Structure 1
Amino acid sequence: MIPVARNVEKTASLANSIRSLVETSLGEGRIEGVAYDTAWIARLVPHYPTAGLDSALEWLRQNQYENGAWGGELVHNHDRFMSTLAAIITLREVGQEARDARRVQRGEDALWKIVGQLNHDDHDTIGFPLLSAALANEAKQLGLDVPHPPARYAAGYQKKVKALLSQPKRNWRGSPISFSLEGLRSAIGPEDEVLNANNSVSTSLAATAAYLMAFDNPATLNYVQTAMAVEGTGAMPALVPIEIFETVWALNHLRIAGAIQPSDPAVQKLLAYLWEAWSPEVGVSHSVYFEVPDVDNTAACFTMLHWGGYPVSADVFKYYEREDHFVCHDAETDPSLSAHIRLLLALRTAPDHPMFETWVTKIVTALQVFDANGSFWTDKWHASAYYVNSFALQALAGISEVTNDLARRRLKWILRTQNDDGGWGYLGQSTPEETAYCLEALLMWDRQIDHIEPSIIDDAATYLFNHMHDVSYTPLWIGKSLYTPHHLVRAAILGTLHLYCQREE
């Protein structure tokens, strides 16, 4: 097989695409539209009949699957359940009986089938215990026949909600629960301070819609209209903006690939924005407009700022340390595996920190506890196990015999599960995003650790080159439904192909 990277036209196109991404796209915070949030925005139509939101309702009508469900392209049952439940509530509440009755009935039928499959998912969607119960109750009040789903971690989530609601002055903006405010909209009073500086509710379109159903706010309505205009189809993003999340993770893929340098003016501009957002005490969140910091974005941002020569200190990670593990964010219900691995990657850039050995030991011990099947991990922020296991190879290799063993078992799983088309796909068919993560990990392993069979790498690169110019990607990231951070995924694809081309030169 002739290596695809020898195609000069493709490599030139790759270089131009990377340059365009860095110079003009990163920081936009582009999220592709999803059914769940679109359904919530469509509910605003009778409240704001002249606001131009009707296209959200029409988008729902045009994007129901043959089986009656709404949601992502690949089946993740919690995503399908929440998306379908939100959609039929909207169609019953603000739709037209003659046009939408059959759609609603098919959606009801789909929910009864999906509810029995919820336990097949590795992880729930965000806020599922709260949102599924709240929406099921709303549906029943509208006369809909829907199941009341079981929910993992329901007791822990209810405890967090009660703690927040019992506060004399509720700190909505400082609580991750605010992101799922639509599940508590009856609890919001005019005295509650829920809006962030960009007039959204925690960067969530659904939560913001719930606020607008109760309170008229022109600036908040403008936030919704601006978000709708980006895609122009009526579909609404799962959250917006995500400028920090998008920038740090996209740059990190390009950094690993050697496709960018800190001296590049476009890169310097992005790093300067990250530095301005950085807090030495708690790090960053996914956006300056969301006030709950998390270790995932903080670790990635730390890595990029350290690479860029900024005086960041690993002391920031003390905020996330607990007795036997690290939390992704304060008051989380269940631990995040990917947060531990991304933190480990960040710490490996600061080996002289006095807590380095202690923290690495704590992380590795936690990873061993999470290692239920001995071959691969799953993570609550991404529907594909390839996401977390791919960058685990880079985090674990070379620390100790224990970490080397963990890494090699993940490596074996990745190698043994490549599809015939050269790609990888945890939920069924191969996707460019998952293939990019796997190929990036294999290329780095081949470069730094041990030889990888060339045909495996070449087949994956061929698949990825064939999808280099895809205009949209399969949603795999877990929010309140599955979503796609577009530029981040594109950076992973382009960076990995750049890394492959460097290997062939």
Structure 2
Amino acid sequence: MSLTAGRAPVTHPGVRAEQARDLVTAMVDNPSGQTSASVYETGRLVGLAPWLPGHDVRVSWLLDRQRADGGWGGPDGYALVPTLSATEALLTVLRRGEHGPAGPLAGAARRGLAFLAGALGAGAPPDLPATDLIVPALREGVERHLARPPAGLADWAGARLPLPAGLDPGRLTRVRGLLATGRPVPEKLAHALEVAGDGACRAAGVRPAGAGAVGASPAATAAWLGRPEPGPALDYLRAVSGRGPVPCASPITVFERAWVLGILARAGVPPAVPGSLVADLRAAVGASGAATGPGLPADADTTSVTLYALARLGRPLEVSRLDAYDTGRHFCTWPGEDGASVTTNAHVLDALGQHPGHPGVAATVDRVAGWLVERQEPDGRWADRWHASAYYATYCVLLALADHARGAAARDAVRRGVGWLLDTQRADGSWGRWGGTAEETAYAVLALAGAGRPGDTRVDAALGRGRHRLSEWDGDADGPALWHDKDLYRPTLIVRAAVLAASWSTSATSTATAQP
């Protein structure tokens, strides 16, 4: 018996079809979207909004999630931002004299400070949104507490913490200066408005979105609101907190719907998609593209995945909405972006590939494909600024190149990318940066199934082991947060869609259809 045949997924196709329907139903029932709770964002709410229902629950949640080494959050440099936020929040609680006995709080704060003393000097942190503003702002806040430390931390009096190499505190000063002028603030800056400190409160240049959120961020909204004044902003905070921890971003309506539907459609998973959901997705694409959710700027990544999903659902829109993001070499995520994203450009390639007859598309596809090939790592992988795992970036790029790119260079890049996936599969059949996860295994399986050579025995064997490992997880999409925002987060339904798509029978030939 072959490895592939002996290790096929055990879940019945009818069960998987029901899971696909459940995903669509969940998106309809909860249009704000589902993401994991954030240590960073919850810590900011503890410090900024003690009057919000669930405050004690949030403090206890932070205490429960401290690691043995004193940090919070993900491995490596990903612990810096959440640990700064949680430690500053606990110091604030101690200064207020709230939340019962100070002993456990002081002990947790002490361990956090000891962790930070080493982590802040350990080199540049990962490329997370607004890190260059958040780290100086929180470091400043921690040092302000230590100027007159609360009970139990007297030995930290006057302590100074290093600033990681490469972070310029002058940028935070300039942002605060902009807010002081009262001039309108760029939408992407509003997402991290809390870095402005007191200057964020009712900042004249900032306006909450229709539902009351500032920058789709609980922390930014609390910083802007300042006090529990009735109105949409307070209503948003009460709704998003649910008397407990909060996510980095909410709502994520368009992001969640576009990614879930695009993943399912590409894999041939056939859920019935309500016509109202498709209509809402179409309406979210304006002249400048689509945004993740209200209060955030339109971006090329969300726009391209939305265009791709709509095209696969039989309701295409013009790809000219991406023109504003074309730099002439590649596509920026938004105008003025620092750096560039390979996954954004892979998604642009997917969107353009759905409109091969549109004027200029063929030349643009060749140009973007060439740019992606140039950014392949020597070992065959791709890495990106929107996800901690190279398996996500490699999956995005491999499928885009395999589906739409032409020429020997692209074919060779695909071959090398497939080789990297084959070389890095773990003994238990999984894939993962820090350990095998269902999410990363799903990306590897989808990439190998879509970009591997048909009949390649090594690919077939790897797919068999990978699908078997997914069947052992039985559709469980729980796992570490791997997506980049101000903190690492996990978009729950998107991850579930990837796991479901990777587990789907290779014989499925149906495509998603919109229904009235």
Relative to the length of structure 1, the TM-score reads 0.88
Match of 1:142 among 145, 148, 161: 145
Alpha-carbon distance change, 20 to 267 in structure 1, aligned in 2, over 3 angstroms: same
Match of 2:235 among 222, 227, 246: 222
| Matching residue of 1:235 | 245
What SS does the aligned partner of 1:453 have?
helix
Match of 1:129 among 103, 109, 132: 132
1:298 aligns with 2:303: yes
| Matching residue of 1:89 | 88
Q: Deviations over 1:123-181 (max 9, x none)?
A: 42210111100110111001064633325574996698489558x65322x43111111
Alpha-carbon distance change, 461 to 382 in structure 1, aligned in 2, over 3 angstroms: same
| Matching residue of 1:411 | 418
Match of 2:59 among 57, 60, 65: 57
Match of 1:258 among 229, 243, 268: 268
Alpha-carbon distance change, 438 to 491 in structure 1, aligned in 2, over 3 angstroms: same
| Matching residue of 1:193 | 206
Match of 2:43 among 39, 46, 54: 39
Match of 1:205 among 218, 242, 248: 218
1:313 aligns with 2:318: yes
Deviation larger for 494-503 or 84-93: 494-503
What SS does the aligned partner of 1:371 have?
coil
| Matching residue of 2:512 | none
Q: Deviations over 1:249-296 (max 9, x none)?
A: 0111110111126xx3x34332111011111x2110111x13410111
Instruction: Please tell me the residue identity of whatever aligns with 1:238.
Output: C
Instruction: Please tell me the residue identity of whatever aligns with 1:256.
Output: R
Conservation of the 8 A alpha-carbon contact between 1:475 and 1:483: yes
Alpha-carbon distance change, 495 to 146 in structure 1, aligned in 2, over 3 angstroms: farther
Conservation of the 8 A alpha-carbon contact between 2:44 and 2:85: yes
Distance of 1:154 and 1:450 partners within structure 2: 50
Conservation of the 8 A alpha-carbon contact between 2:300 and 2:348: yes
Distance of 1:250 and 1:447 partners within structure 2: 26
Match of 1:362 among 360, 363, 367: 367
Instruction: Please tell me the residue identity of whatever aligns with 2:61.
Output: W
| Matching residue of 1:423 | 430
Instruction: Please tell me the residue identity of whatever aligns with 2:478.
Output: S
The number of residue pairs the alignment matches comes to 484
Distance of 2:174 and 2:465 partners within structure 1: 47
Q: CA RMSD in A?
A: 2.6
Conservation of the 8 A alpha-carbon contact between 2:325 and 2:334: yes
Relative to the length of structure 2, the TM-score reads 0.87
Distance of 1:356 and 1:450 partners within structure 2: 32
Q: Percent identity?
A: 28
Q: Deviations over 1:379-419 (max 9, x none)?
A: 00000001011121111125211111221111111110001
| Matching residue of 2:395 | 390
Kindly state the Cα deviation for residue 305 of structure 1 after the two structures are TM-superposed: 1.5
Kindly state the Cα deviation for residue 34 of structure 1 after the two structures are TM-superposed: 1.5
| Matching residue of 1:441 | 447
Alpha-carbon distance change, 340 to 153 in structure 1, aligned in 2, over 3 angstroms: farther
Distance of 1:34 and 1:63 partners within structure 2: 11
| Matching residue of 1:378 | 383
Kindly state the Cα deviation for residue 217 of structure 1 after the two structures are TM-superposed: 4.7
Q: Deviations over 1:47-69 (max 9, x none)?
A: x26x3332111111111111111
Instruction: Please tell me the residue identity of whatever aligns with 2:259.
Output: W
Instruction: Please tell me the residue identity of whatever aligns with 1:124.
Output: D
Conservation of the 8 A alpha-carbon contact between 2:201 and 2:225: no
Please list every run of 5 or more consecutive structure 1 residues that lacks an aligned counterpart in the other structure: none
Q: Deviations over 1:213-266 (max 9, x none)?
A: 36735432221221122xx6x2211111111101110111110111126xx3x3
| Matching residue of 2:279 | 272
Distance of 2:160 and 2:173 partners within structure 1: 26
Distance of 2:406 and 2:169 partners within structure 1: 38
What SS does the aligned partner of 2:120 have?
helix
Distance of 2:88 and 2:27 partners within structure 1: 35
Conservation of the 8 A alpha-carbon contact between 1:468 and 1:493: no
| Matching residue of 2:195 | 183
What SS does the aligned partner of 2:139 have?
helix
Kindly state the Cα deviation for residue 323 of structure 1 after the two structures are TM-superposed: 3.5
| Matching residue of 1:13 | 15
Distance of 2:18 and 2:137 partners within structure 1: 48
Instruction: Please tell me the residue identity of whatever aligns with 1:404.
Output: R
What SS does the aligned partner of 1:142 have?
helix
Distance of 1:104 and 1:372 partners within structure 2: 40
Instruction: Please tell me the residue identity of whatever aligns with 2:233.
Output: T
Instruction: Please tell me the residue identity of whatever aligns with 2:162.
Output: H
